[in-house]
Amino acid sequence: MRRTARGHYRPPPLWRQLLGQLRGRDQMLVRGPETWPLLLLSFPRGHDDIATQLRDAWLNTLPLLRAPVVDPYRRMLAELPSMVVVLLDPRNICTCLGHFHPPGSESRLARRLRADTGGNLGELDLAWENIRDWRPHPLSSLAATTDAAGFSRLHFRAALLTVLLHELDHLAHPDHKEQTVRHSSDAFYTAVLDELLREEGSGSYGMSASA
């Protein structure tokens, strides 16, 4: 998912892969409702906090969203492979927020898992610092002046979920155009952030006036 809508995927340069292996990576398995794919989060050692935040957004935020917000993705979730590898890294050199990995471009981890399990499997990557910096909504810069810390926290949860679902949508529907996928995910982000802000009782952010 690019900051502006246009799709592509470039596999990470070899040196980054090697560095990742040197530093070591940890994995976290996240099991949600039965019809959702099993997520295997892979992240650089020492970044359990990011994996935990993504797990909490997936298990605690997504199932509790109002039906009109989550319904556009409900069928898509059921159509996904039974397991999806999510590679988490701080940043992408190309500055994209994430990519889905078409068959043939998956990591060694995903290829290994597919060979070992014989199951159907997908893979995507997310760049969490690029996602944290992302400000898709024109009102968000104004809103941030009210309570920067609180806003940043809720923005990050909404944005992590949004980019994850955007890339999952690509995995489920490789034939769908970026514009279509992006339209759904931009609407999702606005609705989720609005809902999270309401939950916190902060009507002062003005997010309901969605542009």
User: Which of 192, 121, 140 has the alpha carbon at shortest distance from 163?
Assistant: 192
Q: Closest separation between CB of residue 89 and Zn ion, Å? A: 12
Q: Closest separation between CB of residue 190 and Zn ion, Å? A: 17
User: What x-and-dash track marks residues 162-201 binding Zn ion by CB under 5 A?
Assistant: ----------------x-----------------------
Per rule CB under 5 A, is residue 7 in the interface with Zn ion?
A: yes
Per rule CB under 5 A, is residue 159 in the interface with Zn ion?
A: no
Per rule CB under 5 A, is residue 1 in the interface with Zn ion?
A: yes
Kindly list the distances between the CA atom of residue 65 and the CA atoms of 26, 46, 74, 162, in Å, as whole numbers in the listed order: 29, 30, 11, 13
Residue 173 to residue 122: CA distance in whole angstroms:
12
Q: Which is nearer to Zn ion, 100 or 151 (CB)?
A: 100
| DSSP conformation class of 107 | -
Q: Which is nearer to Zn ion, 2 or 135 (CB)?
A: 2
Residue 149 to residue 182: CA distance in whole angstroms:
27
Q: Which of residues 42-81 bind Zn ion (CB under 5 A)?
A: none
**Strand segments (E) across the chain:** 25-30, 38-44, 83-89, 98-100, 121-127
Query: Applying CB under 5 A, which of residues 62, 86, 96, 193 lies at the interface with Zn ion?
Result: 96
Residue 174 to residue 165: CA distance in whole angstroms:
14
Q: Which is nearer to Zn ion, 89 or 195 (CB)?
A: 89
Per rule CB under 5 A, is residue 32 in the interface with Zn ion?
A: no
Query: Looking at this protein, which amino acid is placed at residue 144?
Result: A
Query: Applying CB under 5 A, which of residues 93, 94, 142, 148 lies at the interface with Zn ion?
Result: 94
Total residues binding Zn ion (CB under 5 A): 5
Q: Which is nearer to Zn ion, 66 or 177 (CB)?
A: 177
* Dihedral (CA of 16, 17, 18, 24) sign: positive
Query: Looking at this protein, which amino acid is placed at residue 9?
Result: Y
Q: Which is nearer to Zn ion, 7 or 44 (CB)?
A: 7
Residue 136 neighbours by CB under 8 Å, 6+ apart: 159, 186, 189
Q: Which is nearer to Zn ion, 1 or 161 (CB)?
A: 1
The per-type count for the chain, helices as H runs and strands as E runs, is: 8, 5
Which residues of this protein are in contact with Zn ion, per CB under 5 A? 1, 7, 94, 96, 178
